[in-house]
Amino acid sequence: MSAILELQDVSRSFGGLKVLEGVSMSLQPGEIVGLIGPNGAGKTTLVNVITAVTPAQGGVIRFAGESIEGLTPDRIAQRGIARTSQIVQPFPRMSVLDNVVAAALFAGGLRQVDEARTFAMEQLEFTGLARVANQSAAALSLADRKRLELARSLAMRPRLLMLDEVNAGLNAAEIDGALALIAAIAARGVTVLLIEHLMKVVLNACSRVAVLHQGRLIADGAPAAVVADPHVIEAYLGRRYATRAGAAMSVGSTA
Ligand SMILES: Nc1ncnc2c1ncn2[C@@H]1O[C@H](COP(=O)(O)OP(=O)(O)OP(=O)(O)O)[C@@H](O)[C@H]1O
Ligand SMILES: [Mg+2]
């Protein structure tokens, strides 16, 4: 199968600080890939580089077989790459529905407002937000704001969706709901890159896990192999995790 996203030797610095260095990886259609690593490892920057919010300074990024070098963030969204932000930023004064309509018009390929409303409403139903469609976005709970981020992203009809800590701050039941939704999104054929600190979520949701440490990819493989990798334990998981990991993998719950 040919990759939907391919990174080759991607780099980015801020001032003298190399935040991404020689990052190469590829994502296949319909995969859910976890991206983990310590605070400051470069995870959000990688998403910003792929979406050209902060363009790469070296390397090649191909989406659906074509280089996306030089494209603006809005062009990249229109090509089919969507992302949620670590800090949730809806248009607070607009209704939940209008937030999603705006995304459908911006990057979902829809021109007619009526069509966009119908399509946006379908995304609200899919994400469980139809009940709050007419509320202002500012009135939503954190869990619903995160769902709104997903609904807005889906309204852009993405082929690749990058989720930056969508579960942060959610309780266990809300996380289960979000994971079911993410699985349903992938089942529609959307490739998902899931940036996540909760290892339980990573191990349950992802078929593959990549690990960033100080801007370099130090592991990329099956979750069980990655969490047992001494470099990953050293850089991120810690020894205490490692001693529990074997047992936790088999019962499906961990830190
Ligand atoms: N626009 C910027 N200007 C200068 N430095 C930046 C900028 N964006 C990120 N950095 C720096 O790049 C490094 C990586 O940051 P990044 O936000 O990508 O990490 P992260 O892996 O997402 O961390 P976290 O898990 O805390 O979200 C940090 O040292 C950060 O301070
Ligand atoms: Mg981040």
Q: What is the pLDDT of residues 43-70, one digit of tens each?
A: 999 999 999 999 999 999 999 999 999 9
pLDDT tens digits, 205-243? 999 999 999 999 999 999 999 999 999 999 988 866 766
Element (H, E) at 156: none
- 245 domain residue, yes or no: no
Asked whether residue 140 is domain-assigned, the answer is yes
Report which protein residue has its CA nearest ligand 1's atom 13: 40
- Cα gap 61→195, rounded to integer Å: 19
In this predicted structure, the answer to whether residue 110 has a pLDDT above a threshold of 90 is: no
Q: Which residues pair with 134 in a beta bridge?
A: none
137: in domain: yes
Structure-model confidence comparison of residues 121 and 93, the more confident one:
121
What domain count does the chain have?
1
Rounded CA-CA distance 17/32 in Å is 30
Beta bridge partners of 14: 17
Kindly list the protein residues whose Cβ atom lies closer than 6 A to any atom of ligand 1. 14, 19, 37, 39-45, 86
Whether residue 30 has pLDDT greater than 60: yes
Residue at token pair 């670590």: 86
**Nearest atom within ligand 1 for CA of residue 215:** 14
Task: Tell me: pLDDT of 77 over 50.
Answer: yes
Q: Does residue 145 fall inside a structural domain?
A: yes
Q: Which ligand is nearest to the CA of 197?
A: 1
Domain range spanning residue 138? 84-157
Q: Has residue 247 got a pLDDT over 50?
A: no
The pLDDT tens digits for 126-180 are 999 999 999 999 999 999 999 999 999 999 999 999 999 988 899 999 999 999 9
Mean pLDDT, residues 86-108 taken together: 85
DSSP character at residue 28:
-
**Is residue 232 within a helix (H) or strand (E), and if so which, with residue range?**
helix 230-232
In a domain, 228, yes or no: no
**Global confidence as pTM:** 0.91
Written as six digits, the tokens of 105 are 């018009």
Q: Considering the domain boundaries, does residue 141 fall inside one?
A: yes
pLDDT at 250: 42
In a domain, 56, yes or no: no
Contact 78, 109 (CB under 8 A): yes
- Asked whether the predicted pLDDT for residue 29 surpasses 50, the reply is yes
Q: What is the pLDDT of residue 108?
A: 75
Q: Determine which residue's CA is closest to atom 16 belonging to ligand 1.
A: 42
Ligand found nearest the CA of 48: 1
